[in-house]
Copies of this chain bind each other. A is one copy, B any other.
Amino acid sequence: MSDVSAVAGDHLRSFIERIERLEEEKKTIADDIKDVYAEAKGNGFDTKVLRKIISIRKQDQNERQEQEAILDLYLQALGMGPDMPDE
């Protein structure tokens, strides 16, 4: 293999390893989440309802963020951007 290919290969390998490492961490956390759901279920909570609650709360967050974003747009349009109050 030529040197440039070798270097590119190492580079590629490095990217792959970084991604696979992160994927593993992600999986660990996903498993943790499952465990918490299982624990909640063991304590008598209905998993389905629990998931619903969490999804609703997430939607609410998104909505709040969108509304803040819109507000920021308005403020910017009025020359009153949040980061530059006295420009």
Which A residues are closer than 8 A to B by beta carbons? 11-12, 15-16, 18-20, 22-23, 25-26, 29-30, 32-33, 36-37, 39-40, 43, 45-46, 48-50, 52-60, 62-63, 66-67, 69-70, 73-74, 77
Known interface pairs A39-B15, A59-B62; A52-B70 also in contact (CB < 8 Å): yes
Instruction: List, in ascending order, chain B residues with CB within 8 A of A73's CB.
Output: 46, 48-49, 52
**Contact at B77–A43, with CB atoms within 8 Å?**
no
Top-10 shortest CB links A-B = A15-B40, A26-B29, A52-B70, A22-B33, A49-B73, A18-B36, A56-B66, A19-B36, A25-B29, A22-B32
Q: How far is the CA of A46 from the CA of B15 in the complex (A)?
A: 12
